[in-house]
């Protein structure tokens, strides 16, 4: 169990011993190297929101235990617990955190068209980008070379590159995905972009707008603390 307290200066998060008082703090279940957990921790940093995190998934297990499945019947990570309320699905968690703790936040504005424009990218990330990027990540990072299908890998990389070209076009003349303001769309796609740019041995198409946007994101505290690590 880790407790993190983010002050107004967004100082480095330090794990300390859990106390009884901490049970009122939100809890994030999930391993730190999960891209879907990283998105949530990044939002907590942007909102200066304290939280506890409990390792779960892959080598940590716990996500197939009855108490976890009561909170999250999918058996996946992340899961958010806020008091007696449990929520799963990473992008739903992001929306909830901003609506609950980020009043008037530009991360997820109230205006319907602005919010819908952000939502489309959040939906696209899970319906289209992540399913395309996952086999590339698993093959390069988690599959020994002897077990790789290199022809399929090349085709998968080409497919993901086409998706990033779409975002590169969206970023033409824009500072962030939806204009001048940093939003949930940037957090979600920024976490996936770390995987794209961090994969070794990948020949990537020229994406100048995407690269400039990614460099902007790399200066943010939440990115540096929770996303910018070697891929494992």
For residues 201 and 90, which has the higher predicted lDDT (pLDDT)?
Answer: 90
Q: Which helix (H) or strand (E) holds 170?
A: helix 150-170
Q: pLDDT confidence of 1, banded at 50, 70, 90? A: low
Six token digits for residue 80: 């958010």
| Nearest alpha carbon to residue 16 among 51, 62, 56, 68 | 51
The per-residue DSSP string of 41-59 comes to HHHHHHTT--EEEE--SGG
The answer to whether residue 4 scores a pLDDT higher than 80 is no
Q: Tell me: the pLDDT tens digits for 12-60?
A: 333 333 333 433 589 999 999 999 999 999 999 999 999 999 999 888 9
Assigned CATH topology for domain 112-226 = Glutathione S-transferase Yfyf (Class Pi); Chain A, domain 2 (1.20.1050)
| In contact, 105 and 47? CB cutoff 8 Å | yes
What is the rounded CA–CA span in Å between residue 112 and residue 194?
A: 29
Six token digits for residue 89: 């699905």
What is the rounded CA–CA span in Å between residue 2 and residue 178?
A: 34
Q: How much is the pTM?
A: 0.88
* The CATH number, out of the four listed (3.40.30.10, 1.10.1270.20, 3.30.460.80, 3.30.360.10), of the domain defined by the range 2-101: 3.40.30.10
Q: Tell me: the pLDDT tens digits for 139-185?
A: 999 999 888 999 999 999 999 999 999 999 999 999 999 999 999 99
Q: Where are the beta strands (DSSP E) in 83-185?
A: 85-88
Other beta carbons within 10 angstroms of residue 135's beta carbon come to 18
How distant is the alpha carbon of residue 78 from its chain centre?
10
Domain coordinates of the chain in residue numbers? 2-101, 112-226
| In contact, 28 and 37? CB cutoff 8 Å | yes
The confidence score (pLDDT) of residue 123 equals 98
């Amino acid at each position: 169990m880790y407790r993190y307290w983010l002050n107004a200066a967004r100082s480095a998060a330090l794990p300390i011993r859990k106390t009884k008082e901490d049970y009122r703090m939100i809890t994030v279940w999930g391993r730190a190297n999960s891209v879907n957990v990283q998105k949530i921790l990044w939002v907590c940093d942007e909102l200066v929101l304290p939280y506890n995190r409990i390792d779960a998934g892959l080598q940590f297990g716990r996500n197939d235990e009855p108490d976890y499945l009561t909170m999250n019947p999918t058996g996946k990570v992340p899961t958010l617990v806020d008091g007696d309320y449990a929520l799963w699905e990473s992008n739903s968690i992001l929306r909830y955190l901003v609506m609950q703790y980020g009043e008037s936040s530009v991360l997820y504005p109230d205006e319907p068209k602005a919010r819908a424009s952000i939502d489309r990218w959040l939906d696209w990330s899970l319906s289209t980008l992540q399913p395309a990027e996952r086999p590339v990540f698993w093959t390069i990072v988690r599959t020994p070379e002897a077990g790789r299908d290199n022809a399929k890998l090349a085709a998968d990389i080409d497919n993901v590159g086409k998706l990033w070209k779409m975002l590169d076009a969206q970023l033409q003349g824009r500072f962030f995905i939806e204009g001048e303001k940093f939003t949930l769309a940037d957090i979600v796609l920024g976490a996936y972009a770390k995987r794209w740019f961090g994969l070794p041995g990948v020949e990537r198409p020229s994406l100048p707008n995407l690269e400039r946007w990614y460099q902007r994101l790399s200066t943010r505290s939440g990115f540096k603390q929770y996303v910018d690590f070697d891929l494992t």
